[in-house]
């Protein structure tokens, strides 16, 4: 049922945050049809935020009040009677479950626009599972939370999902993910000097291209083609190599090499299907190139809408000129301020 709010005082409040993901070199190889893969990605703020107000049983009209704040949708329901208004969030709540003696108010919020192709839904699921897990004895590890979030998407909701978004949300930082057999993977976090970390943070720019990304027939065509080629597809090998190149470049503090790896990955996406690099993304790429950017990566699987990560050169005024040019080129382009996330999932109580 729809709900305007509740005035009862909570017993306590659990809060959780998880970072989103950008610059995912090697994406598409962390999937069932790739079998094995390599992905480089970067966890960044703004994080997805989850807040759970814990009440005694009977304090609310129903056991669960869910506030999907970005959608302006606030409603109540009971376990086992999911209204299917926000299937991923509801499935996560149902999967983790609630202790018998409580009812909860759950708020989920992200500063990043929906459909930004930055793993926002995975971050929301990871943060929600982490917060609900804190209500029960014992604690899931970040890896366990990530795989629970992935399982809910793939097994319960029957959607296409790789593993990298959930792992980045759980671990944060700069990751090199080696999937040795779908969906099982090892996560190596890259340790950088302060100077390289700060410079990388300053150079990265996230641009929302003004349109919500949705999976399309193009993605189904790409998946069918890659599944037909098998694990040793030359397209998948190109993407795996781009992940390796990005890892090596960042570890060496070589920003020019990182830019090349990002650009080569985007070119590989374009070879999968020309429409995976949209007209809006291409416009942003041309502006970035004209203003000294070293590279660009269409985030996520690519296609219409979504976002792009740009890697600027060393000159700070040139970056500011690029940002002005992007805003002037298309009023729908939105530069989203980001900071590298040193932490993944964080959960605490007040």
**What burial class does residue 344 get, using C-beta atoms within 10 Å of its C-beta: 0-12 exposed, 13-18 middle, 19+ buried?**
buried
Name the pLDDT band for 7 (thresholds 50, 70, 90).
Answer: low
| Domain residue limits, the chain | 12-349
pLDDT, one tens digit per residue, over 208-267 is 999 887 666 788 889 999 999 999 999 999 999 999 999 999 999 999 999 999 999 999
Distance between CA 188 and CA 180 in Å, rounded? 13
| pLDDT score, position 137 | 80
pLDDT, one tens digit per residue, over 30-64 is 999 999 999 999 999 999 999 999 999 999 989 99
pLDDT, one tens digit per residue, over 264-301 is 999 999 999 999 999 999 999 999 999 999 999 999 99
| pLDDT score, position 315 | 96
- Phi and psi at 269, nearest 5°, equal -60, -40
Contact (CB, 8 A) for 130 and 18: yes
Task: Evaluate the CA torsion angle 120, 122, 212, 272 in order and state its sign.
Answer: positive
DSSP string, 239-270: HHHHHHHHHHHHHHT-HHHHHHHHHHHHHHHH
Please work out, in degrees rounded to the nearest 5, the angle formed at the alpha carbon of residue 123 by the alpha carbons of 52 and 202: 120
Q: Which of 31, 46, 17, 30 is nearest to 176 (CA)?
A: 30
What's the chain's average pLDDT? 94
Strand 174-181 with 102-110, pairing? unpaired
- C-alpha to C-alpha distances, 31 to 61, 141, 164, nearest whole angstrom: 41, 22, 9
| pLDDT score, position 1 | 60
Name the pLDDT band for 114 (thresholds 50, 70, 90).
Answer: confident
Its CATH class, for the domain covering 12-349, is alpha beta
Helices (H) and strands (E) in the chain, counts: 10, 13
DSSP string, 276-299: GB-HHHHHHHHHHHHTT--EEEE-
């Amino acid at each position: 049922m729809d709900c305007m709010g509740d005035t009862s005082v909570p017993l306590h409040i659990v809060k959780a945050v998880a970072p989103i993901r950008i610059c995912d070199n090697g994406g598409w190889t962390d999937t069932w049809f790739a079998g094995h893969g390599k992905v480089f990605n970067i966890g960044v703020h703004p994080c997805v935020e989850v807040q759970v107000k814990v009440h005694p049983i009977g304090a609310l009209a129903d056991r669960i009040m869910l506030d999907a704040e970005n959608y302006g949708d606030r409603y109540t329901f009971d376990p086992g009677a999911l209204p299917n208004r926000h299937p991923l969030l509801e499935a996560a709540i149902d999967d983790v479950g609630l202790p018998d003696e409580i009812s909860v108010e759950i708020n989920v919020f992200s500063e990043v626009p929906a459909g930004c192709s930055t793993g926002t839904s995975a971050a929301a699921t990871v943060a929600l599972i982490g917060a609900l897990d804190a209500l029960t004895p014992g604690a899931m590890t970040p890896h366990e939370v990530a795989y629970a979030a992935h399982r809910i998407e793939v097994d319960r909701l029957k959607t296409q999902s790789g593993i990298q978004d959930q792992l980045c949300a759980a671990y944060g930082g700069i990751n090199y993910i080696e999937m040795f057999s779908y969906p099982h993977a090892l996560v190596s976090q890259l340790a950088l000097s302060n100077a390289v970390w700060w410079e990388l943070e300053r150079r990265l720019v996230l641009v929302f291209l003004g349109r919500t990304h949705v999976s399309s027939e193009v993605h189904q065509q790409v998946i069918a083609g890659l599944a037909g080629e098998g694990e040793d597809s030359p397209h998948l090998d190109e993407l795996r190599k781009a992940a390796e190149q990005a890892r090596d470049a960042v570890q060496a503090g070589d920003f020019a090499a990182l830019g090349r790896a990002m650009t080569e990955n985007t070119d590989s996406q374009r070879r999968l299907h020309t429409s995976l690099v949209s007209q809006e993304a291409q416009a942003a790429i041309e502006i970035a190139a004209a203003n000294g950017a070293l590279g660009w990566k269409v985030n996520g699987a690519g296609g219409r809408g979504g976002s792009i990560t740009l890697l600027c050169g060393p000159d700070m005024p040139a970056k500011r000129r690029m940002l002005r040019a992007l805003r002037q080129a298309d009023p729908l382009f939105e530069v989203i301020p980001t900071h590298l996330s040193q932490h993944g999932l964080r959960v605490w109580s007040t």
